[in-house]
Amino acid sequence: MPITQSDVEKIAELARLELTADETESFTKQLGSILSYVEKLNEVDTTGVLPMSYCRISGEDSNDALRDDVVRPGIGQQAATANAPDPEAGFFKVPKIIGG
C-alpha cells in the first residue's frame, strides 16, 4: 500500500512537525519504501494464529512482571526540574495552554 503525500502531511501535523515541500516529498518516498519492505510480512499465512502484542518469556498464565505496591523516594523536585528550560517554584513553566 503506497503512502501518499497527504498521509505524510497529516502525520507531520499530528507529530507537530513542520516539513518543507522538499522534505515532504523525500519522506513520502522513504516511508513508502520502508512500508513496502515491511509489507513482505503480509505474505505469511497467519490463519488460525492468535495476534501477539508482546513476546512472553515465561509462564503463559501468570503475571510474572508485576511490582509490589511499595513506595520508594523519587528523584526529588530539584532533579526533576533540573533540565527544564524555565522552571519556577518547583513547577515546569510552559507557554500558556489555551482552552485549558
Binding footprint of another protein on the chain (CB under 8 A):
14, 16, 53-54, 56, 60-63, 65-72, 74-77, 80-81, 88-97, 99-100
Smallest separation (angstroms) from another protein to the CB of 68: 6
Nearer to another protein, 21 or 54 (CB): 54
Give CA–CA dist 36/13, Å, rounded: 23
Smallest separation (angstroms) from another protein to the CB of 52: 9
Core vs surface per residue 10-25: b (16+ CB within 10 A) or e: eeeeeeeeebeeeeee
Amino acid, single-letter form, for residue 1: M
Nearer to another protein, 48 or 59 (CB): 59
Smallest separation (angstroms) from another protein to the CB of 46: 16
Q: How many CA atoms lie less than 13 Å away from 60 in the CB half-sphere?
A: 1
User: What is the grid cell recorded at 56?
Assistant: 512472553
